[in-house]
Amino acid sequence: MERHSITAEAAFALLQGQSSRRNSRLVDVAEQLIDPGPAERAETRPQRTRL
């Protein structure tokens, strides 16, 4: 919502539209938005320092 400067109602409408187009449950679409996936998780993982 912050990134696109939209209201909660508009964000929900976008989720509903994506859910309808993908023919998947709205909760699944929302989870995909907040879960970065394995590639992004690896990038954000803190790097270990060798002692």
The yes-or-no verdict on residue 50 having pLDDT over 70 is no
Residues in the chain: 51
DSSP state of 46: P
Instruction: Give pLDDT tens digits for 6-49.
Output: 999 999 999 999 999 999 999 999 998 888 677 655 566 566 66
The whole-model pTM stands at 0.61
Predicted confidence band at 1 (pLDDT cuts at 50, 70, 90)? Answer: confident
Q: Which residues contact 30 (CB under 8 A, 6 or more apart)?
A: 15
pLDDT for residue 47: 62
Question: What residues does each domain of the chain span?
Answer: 8-44
Residue of 7 and 50 predicted with greater confidence:
7
Tokens 């699944």 — which residue?
Answer: 28
